[in-house]
Structure 1
C-alpha cells in the first residue's frame, strides 16, 4: 500500500470514529452533524500538499486555544527585544537573560543585548536556541540533553529581564498571535501577583499532615477536612484583602493590553477581536503549605472576578515533588471544590510517558484528576492507555463530556510521543471531546495552525473532524454563558438569528463567540471550494 493509500485508509477509519463520537454525544443537528463528504474530499486534495494545507489552515477558523501558558507562549525573539530595550544582558554561564543593571563593566560573562543582532548575529541565534527548543526535532542542539530537559529549563532562562511591563507585553502578544491563527477565544494560563500575600501567609503556617490514617495500615485515601479548614480560616483575612487588590490589578492590566494593541482607536489590531479569559495556575513542585495557599487564593479570585474562569496545575508532572504529592494535590482540589463547587478545573494530567517515572505512576493520574479533583478538562492526557481500567476512564470522560486538550508538538518534544504512538485516535474512538491547543508555542516554536496541520498530516484527521475540534474548543471552554448548542440557536443555519436565539446571544459570551465561529466557517468553506481546485497538485 502506498503512503497516500495508507493516509486515505486512516482517514476513512477516523471518519467512522468521528461519526460514532457524534452519536455518542447526542448533540444537536448543527452542532455535531456528520462530516460533509464533498468538503472532506476538497480538503483531502489540499492535504496532499503541505504548503497548500498550511495556506488553507491559516484561514481555517479556530474557536479557541484552551491550553496556552502565558510565558511559554512568548517567542525568544520577543524576550530578547524587551530585555534589550530595558538595558538587559545575557549570561553566557547561566544561559539566561539578566535584568539591568547587568553588573560591572568589562564582565566577560555578560553580553549586552542592545545592538547584538548587528554585532554578533551568530551569538544572537545561540541565545534564541538557549531560550527555546528550536529545531530540536531535527536534531539541533546537544544530543545528550533530552527534549524534556531542554523544554523546561527555558522558563528559568527567559524569566528575568524585560522591564516592569513584561507581563502585559506577554499577554498582548499572545492575543496578537491568536489573531494571526484566526482564533476567536484565548484561555490563557497566568497568575496574579496579588495572590503572593496569601501564599506567603500559608507558607508561614507549619504544615500539619492532613491524611486520615487507616486502621489496617493501608495507604490513606482521604484528608481531614477539619485540619484543612483550620488552615483556611487563618488565611481568610489575607484573602479578603488580596482578592480586591487582584481585581484592581486586572483592571490596570486590561487597560495596558488594550493600549498596546490600540484597541478602541481608529486602527485597532486584530488582537482586539480575540476574547481573553484567564486560568489561574497552581505550581505542583512547591511544598504543600505553598500549594494550599495558591489554591486558597485562586479559588477565591475565580469566584470574585469573571475574567478568571478556572484553575489549572502546572510544572513537570514527573518532578519529584509532583509525583510525591500527586494524590495530595487532587484531594486538596476536592476540598476546595466543596467550598467553591462552581469553580471549574482543567488539570495537567497524564503528561507522562514510559520511562519518565516508574510505571506505577502512570496508572492513576488522569483517573484521580477526573474522579477525585473533579476536572472538567484534562490537559495532555498522553498516558491514558497506562491508566488502570483505561477503557472505563475513557467511557466516563465521554459520558460526562470531559474534554482533553491535545498538544501534538509539545508531546513530541517533551515526551517523544507522536504519530501512531499518540492517543488522539483512542480518545476520538471513545467519544471523548477533543480540542487542539498550543501549550507553550513560543518555546516549541509552533502555532495553533501548525497543531492543526500535525493533526491532519500525522493523524489523518479530516476536515469534518477538524471543524468539530474547533467547535469543541469553544463548547468546552470556561467562557461564561449558555452554549449555542443547548437552546433555540442549536438547529439554525442562517446568518440572522431568530428573536429567541438573539436573546441567547445577548446574554451569553460563549454563545456569541460560537455564533461568530459558525459564520466564519460559512465564509471559509466557500473560500476553500474556490482555492483548492486552483492550487491543488
Structure 2
C-alpha cells in the first residue's frame, strides 16, 4: 500500500498534466488553423471579399475608438424619430420642420397639398427615400450622374439634415448602437457624444484675434485672456444651465447601456469652426464633464478641418487645450488632427497639425492623422507617437470618401512601417452606411496583412482606449475568451468542410 499510493498519485499528476496540456494545445491548434484560413482569404491577386466579410463579422473586434454618435445612426431611425416628435420632412429640401406653426398648417392641408411629409410617408415613397439617403448619407454618391456637391461637403452637410432629432432621442439611439455592436461581435464603443455647452464673449474674441502678435508674447496674452474668462463662465446662467442639462442627459441616456456583453464610454466634443470664446467655453465644459463623470473618458474637437476658421484658429485651439490640460492633467484628449489632403489647403497648412496636437495640446490619440507625410518633422513625430504609445484612429471608408485617399496613398502604410500604433474604426457608420466589420475587410483587402496583425488590432482597440484600468483589464480578459471560441468555431467549420 505504501508503494502503490505514490505511484497512483504520480499517475494522476501525469494524467492531469497531459489533460492540461491537451486543453492548452487545443486553442493553439485552433489559432493555427485560423491563421492558415485567413492567409488563404487574402492570398493571390484578388482577396475573397465575401469570405472576409463573414470572417470579420464573426471575429471579436474589441472596440471602436473613433465613433460619432449622431453620425452612427442610420437615416431610417432618424425618420422614425421625425414621427415620434410629430415633425415632418420637406419634399424638395429634405430638411426637417420643427416649427409648431408651420407644422399645424401642414396637418390641416389636404394630402395632395402637403409639402412636408411624415417619416413613414418618406419611407413609403421609394423615389423620395432614395434621394433622402443621398442627402442624409453618402449612399449612391458614385452611382449618380446628376450635379453633386464635392464629397467632403456632401459628408459634412449630412449632419445639418438630421440634427433636429439626433440629440433629443439619445437614449433610444444608444440602445440601437449597442445592439448593432453586439450583433457584429463588438464589445466596446468610445463615442463622440453631444456638443459640449458653450457661450459667446465678443470682447474675448476681439482680444485673442488681435493682429500683430505671435510666439511667446501671443501665448502669454492668450493665457491671461483665458484666465480672465474662466470665472465669467461660472456666472453665465445659460452656460451653467446647459452644463447641468448635459450632465443629467449623460446619466439618463446611458443608463443600462453597460452590461456583461457591452461597454460604452463618451467624449464631449467641441466644434472647431465656432468663435474663439465659443470654442474655449465648450472646451471648459468638456474638461469639467470628463473630470467629474467616470463615463466621460476624454475630450475631442471635431468639424471640417479645412474651413477658413478651422485653419485660422488651429494653433489657437491647441494652446487652449494646453491651458486646460495643465488644470486638468488627468483628462485625456483624442483630437481630430491632420484630416487634410494635398490641395484642400495651401501646402503650409499641412505642415504641423498632428505635431501640434501632440506637442502643444497633449493628445493621447490622433483621429485620422492623414497628412503626416506632409508634416515638417514627420519622422520625429512618428517616432514620438511610437515611443509614447499615441495611437492613430484609422477610418478607411471616410478617408477615401472625404479626402480621396486609399490604397498605398493612405498613411496607414507609414504608420505600420514606422511602428506607430493604430486602430481600425468607423468614424460615421450611419452616414457612410457601413460597419466596423467592413472596415476590417477593407484593411485586409488593401494591405498585406496577417491574422496575427488583425487580432492584435482588435486587442489594441481596447489597449489604447481611455477606459479605466480595471475596465480595460476586464474587457481584455473577455476578448481572450471570445477569440478562443471564435478560433475553435473556425477550426471546426474547416474540419467539417473537409469531411
Question: TM-score when scaled to structure 2?
Answer: 0.85
Distance in 2, Cα, partners of 1:346 & 1:169: 26
2:181 corresponds, among 178, 181, 196, to: 178
Q: Give the match for residue 219 of structure 2.
A: 222
Match of 2:479 in 1: 517
Name 2:21's counterpart in structure 1.
none
Structure 2 unaligned segments of length 5 or more: list them: 1-27
Shift of 1:532: 4.4
* Count of residues in correspondence between the two structures: 455
Q: Which residue matches 1:233?
A: 231
- The structure with the largest helix share of the pair is 2
Structure 1 pair 214/320, CA: closer, same or farther in 2 (3 Å)? closer
Q: What is the alpha-carbon root mean square deviation over aligned residues?
A: 2.7
Q: Which residue of 1 aligns with 2:247?
A: 247
Partners of 2:497 and 2:87 in 1: CA distance: 47
SS at the partner of 2:474? helix
Aligned-partner Cα distance in 1 for 2:88–2:243: 35
| Contact 1:147/1:413 (8 A) holds in 2 | yes
User: CA-to-partner distance for each residue in 1:108-149, whole Å, 9 max, x for gaps?
Assistant: 53233334433x22222221222110132x433645422111
Q: 1:246 to 1:81 in 2, by over 3 A?
A: closer
Within 1, Cα distance between the matches of 2:123 and 2:148?
Answer: 29
Q: Deviations along 1:213-250, whole A, 9 cap, x unmatched? A: 999x8796634322211111222355777656543332
Q: Deviations over 1:482-524 (max 9, x none)?
A: xxxxxxxxxxxxxxxxxxxxxxxxxx11100111111111111
1:318 to 306, 310, 332: 306
TM-score, length of structure 1 as denominator length:
0.79
Q: Which residue of 1 aligns with 2:105?
A: 104
Question: In structure 2, do the counterparts of structure 1 residues 370 and 513 end up closer, same or farther at CA, with 3 Å as the change threshold?
Answer: same
* Residue 189 (str. 1) matches residue 187 (str. 2): no
Asked whether the equivalents of residues 377 and 402 of structure 1 are also in contact (C-alpha less than 8 Å), the reply is yes
Q: 1:242 to 1:77 in 2, by over 3 A?
A: closer
- Alpha-carbon deviations, 1:291-340, whole Å to 9, x = none? 01101111111101111000010010001110010000000000001101
Matches within 5 A, 1:70-469: 70-99=69-98, 101=100, 102-105=103-106, 106=109, 108-118=114-124, 120-136=125-141, 138-140=142-144, 142=146, 144-161=148-165, 165-191=168-194, 196=197, 199-200=198-199, 202-203=200-201, 206-210=204-208, 222-224=219-221, 225-237=223-235, 246-255=246-255, 258=256, 273-469=261-457
Superposed CA deviations along residues 203-222 of structure 1, whole A, max 9, x for unmatched, are: 3664353489999x879663
Q: 1:45 aligns with which of 34, 40, 47?
A: 40
* Cα shift at 1:527: 1.6
Mark the structure with the bigger radius of gyration.
2
Residue range with higher mean Cα deviation, 124-133 or 217-226? 217-226
Structure 2 vs 1, CA of residues 218 and 273 (structure 1 numbering), >3 Å: closer, same or farther? closer
1:245 & 1:146 partners in 2: Cα distance? 37
Q: What is the CA distance between 1:460 and its match in structure 2?
A: 2.7
